[in-house]
């Protein structure tokens, strides 16, 4: 009798772990499918740009380029740019992006900020 109860206890202990591993595998498969869909929809000639201040988001979407000014002078960021971080001077940030599937040029006047570029993701923090 004790043999049967121990085997039942072992099965109970194994089943929750199997359920956990199956749910983890399902989540990983869903994530991989989402990543694949995102890669298919993303234009390789664009990058994701987000320009935000503590209480306002100025732009968040795809862009073909972004221009700004730092202590060295004016510069442009294009897709596949090397990773870097820079303090921005007072200037107009110019974003050549897509708004509702149409190419638009957006100008944002800033008094300064920080730009972070990494793997086609550009984040500009203003008023910090």
pLDDT bucket at 40, cuts 50 / 70 / 90: very low
Of residues 13, 52, 72, 64, the one with CA closest to residue 5:
13
- Specify the higher pLDDT residue, 106 or 45: 106
- What is the model's pLDDT at position 36? 47
Q: What pLDDT is attached to residue 17?
A: 54
Q: Rounded mean pLDDT of 14-36? A: 61
Average pLDDT across the chain, whole number: 81
Number of C-alpha atoms within 13 angstroms, CB side, residue 27?
A: 6
Residue 124, C-beta contacts closer than 8 angstroms, at least 6 positions apart: 49, 50, 51, 52, 66, 68, 88, 93, 113, 114, 115, 116
Q: Convert the pLDDT of each residue in 72-120 to its tens digit.
A: 999 999 999 999 999 999 999 999 987 777 888 999 999 999 999 999 9
pLDDT at position 14 over 90: no
Question: CA-CA distance, 113 to 65, in Å (whole number)?
Answer: 18
Taking the whole predicted model, whether its pTM rises above 0.85 is answered as no
Point out which residues pair with 110 in neighbouring strands: 91
**CATH number, span 47-126:** 2.60.15.10
């Amino acid at each position: 009798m004790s043999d049967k109860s121990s085997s039942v206890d072992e099965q109970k202990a194994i089943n929750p772990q199997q359920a956990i591993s199956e749910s983890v595998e399902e989540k990983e498969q869903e994530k991989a499918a989402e990543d694949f869909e995102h890669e298919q929809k993303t234009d390789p000639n664009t990058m994701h740009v987000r320009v935000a201040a503590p209480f306002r988001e100025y732009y968040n979407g795809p862009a073909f380029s972004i221009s700004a000014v730092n202590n060295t002078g004016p510069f442009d960021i294009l897709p596949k740019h090397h990773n870097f971080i820079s303090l921005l001077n007072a200037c107009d940030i110019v974003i050549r992006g897509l708004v509702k599937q149409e190419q638009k040029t957006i100008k944002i006047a800033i008094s300064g900020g920080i730009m972070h570029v990494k793997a086609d993701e550009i984040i500009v923090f203003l008023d910090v």
